[in-house]
Chains A and B, each alone.
Chain A
């Protein structure tokens, strides 16, 4: 299929406040992005607004504070998806459709049990958690990510292995946390299955502590994929460096190298894949 035929659903509920930027990013890459309220997939809306997952090739779960995040971040959005879409959402992924969960969207994917996978299909029960930042508070910060994926994830196909991207973070609960005593086991499993995608690094490219690792995530994990490679959940916001002039330090390097920012490569990678697959 051709790039302009790709239809992307940017899914939101109340408090999902970063849907427009995500849709703008997908649109700027050439796909047709639509903001969809979960109600429209559930049918709780006037008939003309009814939508179905089958209408789309990709879903973005954007950032924000879905339902206020007054309980665990992402928990309410996840439970609404579970009860209304449930298996249909899993089939959508199995059919090869990319799903990108950014920040709150990553929290939703973890609450749904889709991430982390460790080679096994999710059963819609959480296996890990994104817990409160090591700083104990919400923080908005620039971050540097190293692409550690070896080719399994469809969102990094355009990114050089080991390449470093500037993609900022903005969250209170982003510390990847596994069940007590299982951290090393999980990390090894994710590495073995090539489900690690991004890890936080410092200016020199080395793994470093807070604030380079803005939340204290174990093994500096910033983003992971599932057993299919079609899903990417990440705390940093690639739509926030879609353009070079949104990078926090663009006035240092200048804009002569072009307007494309580091975050754009994730969107373009996914669309390359969709164009070749469907």
Chain B
């Protein structure tokens, strides 16, 4: 490296960089040495900016730009696609910003946002997952809404991976699962926000790069919603919360590159440290100040640290900011100004407060023992200025610095090869097949995880994630919250993803994920209203991956538009790739549905003997991308695609049937098909079911029972209401059988094809995670 590019600036701790004369190789070497993570075009763009100013940059200025232009902060790859398909679907939002805000009733709103914390969790699962929760909670908070629920879609490699098969540097999926769940548990439970929904997917292709997506739902009043920009000249800029240290430096650059074997050691410093017991009082203090109207605007410090937040608040509020970096409260001594400026230390919020309210704001933080300091002021203009030791060490035009160049990266459609499919006749008989599917790790009970989350702190969780009789809880489809004491209106929350369909056809995979989400929300009695998402992909600089991304976004948007779902917030995570290869394209969705009256909520457990069990929806025996085809490696990728019109019609019809009180229990048909759905209903209600597959049409009984065709539900109805139900659904309701006994029995053409005790099947279904994870 040509060391002569750096020279003393005459200001302590700040170097000047002689950029103007640097050639291409010097720029590249500077990029590496400073770990800027920029492309050569981007370096040249920065060079010409400073040439235009007629001066050389400081090191801290280059770090500022590099942070802001990282994929993580700027969405430079995804924004053109999102702008085309997704942003138009935010129109119904009450407000957008760090989180999407939606109307709940005349005076209340709810907010929603999801974010990935994939790379930190792959390296340090406990801390990575915990700070993922911490970050998403701050996003909800800084809209002026109270965090009321968490939901977490998680994706890991195969738990049975032999240690000898583990690629160099990668951590075993068991270690990652235990660490991630532990991190969510200890952070979420400690700050008192219930984790009410989630999903876990296991596949070999997440071996090198697990996915940890965290969603938070907030609740608040319309008249208290707070913006995220610097809007008023003369306001004080206040930092509140945790101290600033060297943790998380260059976290955004680390998130914008693929993981290598070396990452596990060298990038540990890019993982931040969470502290829920600083966060809990910070939440209390901020909510009190929101209630009092004492905060003009705020934003949380996440990726890119203070640099990113000051830049984004200045840009969105149309004002300049002057920060005195020497006023920052630090955790350690000897930090250079640029390190303070880009540190991603956790539990920090930046507030814009009028001088009139400043003393009160500082007093309230003091009462809660939360550190808060004025570190700057809002000015008119369009620049971001940082002062240190009396000198100006950053002076950047806001829009140049914050608005990264965008890319329309090349795409290449993947050719789908139709493999030869192993015929179903060659597979196990029904008995053995039921047992294998019900005990498969992707179907088996999640109670090992769910019980570790406090799903009811806050006293709002009316329908819990595990449903049924005490002692025999089973999987529900969604949870329901009752956010107001004096209203019966509720919010339903569910999570979905269809990575295996996405791997074959990313457009259809995204549509299928929306279908699943709508099924789950309607299954408890909600009208699907808004969706937040994490779009997890591999390296977008590869045209095939870029195509997957584009198609997924297009599919998600088409499905959301047809279902009148608002998409007010979301997140993109690229570069999920590692030694074992890229991840499956993974659209993780967290949806919120509105419930008119929580007293009408429906759970999945069978309620009584002698009810009728109906299939709602259209039977389709195709088995592509199903649990069955994966377990038996049939190679079948011929799946039944979603028909959005049917989804729309049946969702509304199910809402109507539930509002009339016709439905005793309901469960959507998803992984493991009708048989798994019915079994989970039987487990929760500790009541058996007899299913006759004759009316499901022609075909192998195994295909009928294990097909995962979309837009289907199982509903339990009292015999006296069956006529009414059939008049609502017409051809879309098929009588499958009756409830009762202690067995699950399958009949066809008047012959018993399968019969087994619930207690036996429940054991097979409930043990797999406990057997693998023990009591860790």
Contact = CB atoms under 8 A, between A and B. Distances in A.
Interface in A194-253: 202-203, 212, 239-240, 242, 245-246, 248-252
A176 B466 CA distance: 27
A49 interface: yes
Interface string B192-221: 100000000000000000000000000000
Contact of A240 (B363, B452, B459, B466): B459
Contacts of B599: 245, 255
Contact of B605 (A136, A141, A252): A252
A136 B182 CA distance: 12
A37 interface: yes
Interface string B53-76: 000000000000000000000000
A46 interface: yes
A65 B277 CA distance: 8
Contacts of A182: none
A39 interface: yes
B220 to A, nearest CB: 15
A17 to B, nearest CB: 3
Contact of A170 (B367, B369, B456, B603): B456
Q: Which of A136, A170, A251 is the most central at the interface, judged by chain B CB atoms within 10 Å of its CB?
A: A251
B189 interface: yes
Nearest to B775: A136
Nearest to A139: B451
A21 interface: yes
Interface residues of A, number: 45
Interface string B712-755: 00000000000000000000000000000000000000000000
A245 B466 CA distance: 15
B775 A137 contact: yes
A120 interface: no
Contact of A246 (B190, B363, B459, B602): B459
B602 A68 contact: no
A135 B471 contact: no
A136 B178 CA distance: 13
B192 A252 contact: no
B608 to A, nearest CB: 9
A129 B470 CA distance: 28
Interface string A120-164: 000000000000000111111110100000000000000000000
A49 B367 contact: yes
A251 B363 contact: no
A101 interface: no
A242 B482 CA distance: 14
Contacts of A212: 471
Given A240-B459, A245-B462, A246-B461, A138 B452 contact: yes
Contacts of B367: 37, 39, 45-46, 49
Interface string B315-355: 00000000000000000000000000000000000000000
Interface in B441-488: 451-459, 461-464, 466-471, 473, 482, 485
Contact of B469 (A20, A21, A140, A249): A249
A142 B485 contact: no
A219 to B, nearest CB: 20
A43 interface: no
B568 interface: no
A240 B451 CA distance: 16
B468 A249 contact: yes
A168 interface: yes
Q: Which of A15, A17, A144, A170 is the most central at the interface, judged by chain B CB atoms within 10 Å of its CB?
A: A17
A166 interface: yes
A260 interface: no
B247 interface: no
Given A18-B457, A251-B601, A65 B452 contact: no
B167 to A, nearest CB: 30
Contacts of B453: 140
B103 interface: no
A24 interface: yes
Contacts of A68: 190, 276-277
B470 A203 contact: yes
B440 interface: no
A138 B459 contact: no
B470 A239 contact: no
Contact of B482 (A14, A18, A142, A245): A245
B459 A24 contact: yes
B114 to A, nearest CB: 22
Contacts of A37: 367
A20 B192 CA distance: 11
Given A138-B189, A140-B452, A17 B280 contact: yes
Contacts of A142: 470, 473
B222 interface: no
Interface in A30-86: 37, 39, 45-46, 49, 63-65, 67-70
A14 B452 contact: no
Nearest to B368: A14
A17 B452 contact: no
Interface string B258-277: 00000000000000000011
A166 to B, nearest CB: 7
B512 interface: no
B554 interface: no
B470 A170 contact: no
Contacts of B485: 24
A240 B453 CA distance: 15
B459 A21 contact: yes
A45 B368 CA distance: 10
Given A135-B775, A245-B599, A251-B463, A141 B451 contact: yes
Contacts of A168: 456
Nearest to B464: A248
Nearest to B469: A249
Given A135-B775, A251-B603, A239 B459 contact: yes
A21 B462 contact: no
B232 interface: no
Nearest to A144: B470
Q: Which of B190, B455, B685 is the most central at the interface, judged by chain A CB atoms within 10 Å of its CB?
A: B190
Contact of B280 (A14, A45, A144): A14
B704 interface: no
A251 B471 contact: no
A168 B213 CA distance: 28
B716 to A, nearest CB: 11
A203 B471 contact: yes
A158 B732 CA distance: 51
A37 to B, nearest CB: 7
B148 to A, nearest CB: 11
Contacts of A135: 775
B192 A138 contact: no
Contacts of A45: 367
Nearest to A65: B190
A67 B776 CA distance: 24
A264 B461 CA distance: 17
Interface of A: 14-15, 17-18, 20-21, 24, 37, 39, 45-46, 49, 63-65, 67-70, 135-142, 144, 166, 168, 170, 202-203, 212, 239-240, 242, 245-246, 248-252, 255
25 contacts: A14-B277, A15-B276, A15-B280, A17-B190, A17-B280, A18-B192, A39-B367, A46-B363, A49-B367, A65-B276, A67-B277, A68-B277, A139-B452, A141-B451, A170-B456, A170-B457, A212-B471, A245-B598, A248-B470, A249-B469, A250-B462, A251-B605, A251-B607, A252-B469, A252-B605
Interface of B: 185-186, 189-192, 276-277, 280-281, 363, 367-369, 451-459, 461-464, 466-471, 473, 482, 485, 598-599, 601-603, 605, 607, 685, 775-776
Q: Report, nearest first, the 8 A-B pairs whose CB atoms are least far apart.
A: A17-B192, A21-B459, A68-B277, A251-B603, A139-B451, A65-B190, A142-B470, A136-B775
